[in-house]
Amino acid sequence: MIWRGATALAGGALGLAAPLAGADWRERLALSGPEAAPGGIWLHAASVGELNSVQVLAEALARDFPLVVTTNSLTGRVLARRLGYPCALAPLDVPQAVGRFLDRLRPAVLVTVENELWPNRSAMATARGVAQVVVGARISARSAARWGRLPGLIGPMLARIDALSAQDADSEARLLALGLRAGALTPRLNLKLLAPAQVEPGEDGPERARTVLAASTHEGEDAPMLDAWAAARAAVPDLRLILAPRHPRRGDAVAALIAARGLDFVRRSQGGGLGTPVLLADTLGEMAAWYRAAGICITGGSFADHGGHTPWEPAAWRCAILHGPHVANHAGDYADLAAAGAARGCTAEALPQLLAALAQDGAGQRRMGEAARALLLARAGDPATLVARIKALARRGLA
């Protein structure tokens, strides 16, 4: 039963995200699937996003216990395989499939990511002595009102939960009102922020304060970034720019824009590095290096109307964050960062002056970057308490 709403009552809401082949149906019916030593941990994440968000917890748990991952989607299963975990499509929530799955794995703990509770899975896990944990739980006021009309269904499922970490205080209150035991609550975690919160920035290099990263730019943003940097460089002659397009396939087009301005630049895709005034970072998988190198980060998607990209990755690296007016995708995050003195918004016209002033204020940059990282850590939460709780439940199951 997915607690997002009563649509889960329909036969079509069994978590099927795509047509399945015969072998996939065998997994859904628990007629095949991974083997694992008894007393391990069953981690269920609906799809790719949920599994990505819980990687920090998964790695911590897998160090001490056998870990098996299930997902509702084929793409989620692909990711689980890539991460190296024994995995399968989750069993359908019918007694026969759930029973076969539990009998084969005999887990000590079932850890569910975010918003999925299924009645047969819940009842049968408890009947077999399997502890139940929910991480990153959230429930809207609308969903809570709907579930309030089905207390005989949601209440027992919530009452069986041994530990639950919610994303926010409102979700905690709604779940308690629906039947969650107060003693099951653990400190809140924002799963999507756990991975960036694990970053260890290290010491700043001597050129970091004079290096600007335009991160994940979209078409229409590269020219304003180049012009703002060139104007700021008139006041700060040693100012460097790393221009990282969101889609590296745009590398040739962006290179043409740089060349048309007569700027000295190299392309990372051709082996170039940080020794020139402009580095066109037209590769994949190297953003961490650019965040590490740049004291100032301009977040892309915010000067063209793409809603703005997440500020938390540059925050993890203690970057002073600048952004344009289009941040609807993360409006609350940017507002909170601005209130903490960690981010500043501006127009493309105002960007050159702001860049020049910030590039000449190393102490101000550091204050902004440290404030950004401090807010990230506070928002993410510390997973240590939850990890310890899950491991204690697993050891209890082995006793």
Per-residue model confidence (pLDDT) at position 19: 66
Global pTM reads 0.85
Neighbouring-strand partners of residue 134? 112, 164
Per-residue model confidence (pLDDT) at position 399: 67
Per-residue model confidence (pLDDT) at position 15: 46
**DSSP calls for 172-231:** HHHHHHHT--GGGB-----HHHHHHHT----PPPTTGGGEEEEEEE-TTTHHHHHHHHHH
342/347 Cα distance (integer angstroms): 17
Per-residue model confidence (pLDDT) at position 5: 37
Cβ–Cβ contacts within 10 Å for residue 71, how many?
Answer: 26
Residue closest to 389 by CA, chosen among 99, 185, 122, 216: 185
The SS3 assignment for 306 reads coil
Please count the residues of the chain: 399
CB 48 within 8 A of CB 79: yes
Provide CB contacts within 8 A for 337, sequence distance 6+: 311, 315, 321, 343, 371, 372, 375
Per-residue model confidence (pLDDT) at position 7: 30
Per-residue model confidence (pLDDT) at position 74: 94
Per-residue pLDDT of the chain (399 residues; tens, 9 = 90+): 444 433 333 233 344 445 677 889 999 999 998 988 899 999 999 999 999 999 999 999 999 999 999 999 999 999 999 999 999 999 999 999 999 999 999 999 999 999 889 999 999 999 999 999 999 999 999 999 999 999 999 999 999 999 999 999 999 999 999 999 999 999 999 999 999 999 999 999 889 999 999 999 999 999 999 999 999 999 999 999 999 999 999 999 999 999 999 999 999 999 999 989 999 999 999 999 999 999 999 999 999 999 999 999 999 999 999 999 999 999 999 999 999 999 999 999 999 999 999 999 999 999 999 999 999 999 999 999 999 999 999 999 776
CB 130 within 8 A of CB 102: yes
Per-residue model confidence (pLDDT) at position 198: 94
- The string over 296-308, giving b where at least 16 C-beta atoms fall within 10 Å of a residue's C-beta and e elsewhere, is bbbbbbbbbebeb
Strand order from edge to edge, sheet including 67-71: 87-89, 67-71, 41-44, 109-113, 131-137, 163-166
**DSSP calls for 154-169:** HHHHHHT-SEEEESSH
54/58 Cα distance (integer angstroms): 6
Cβ–Cβ contacts within 10 Å for residue 230, how many?
Answer: 17
Per-residue model confidence (pLDDT) at position 186: 96
* Residue found by looking up tokens 């650019």 in the block: 290
257/261 Cα distance (integer angstroms): 7
Residue closest to 70 by CA, chosen among 53, 49, 45: 45
What are the angstrom distances between the C-alpha of 324 and each of 222, 228, 248, 298, 356? 13, 12, 21, 8, 16
Instruction: Find the helix packing angle between 351-359 and 222-233, rounded to 10°.
Output: 50
Provide the residue type at 195 as one letter.
Answer: A
Per-residue model confidence (pLDDT) at position 11: 31
**Nearest 5°: phi and psi at 395?**
-65, -35
Per-residue model confidence (pLDDT) at position 18: 53
DSSP 249: G
pLDDT in tens, 32-52: 989 888 999 999 999 999 999
Residue closest to 173 by CA, chosen among 141, 132, 133: 141
195/188 Cα distance (integer angstroms): 15
323/309 Cα distance (integer angstroms): 9
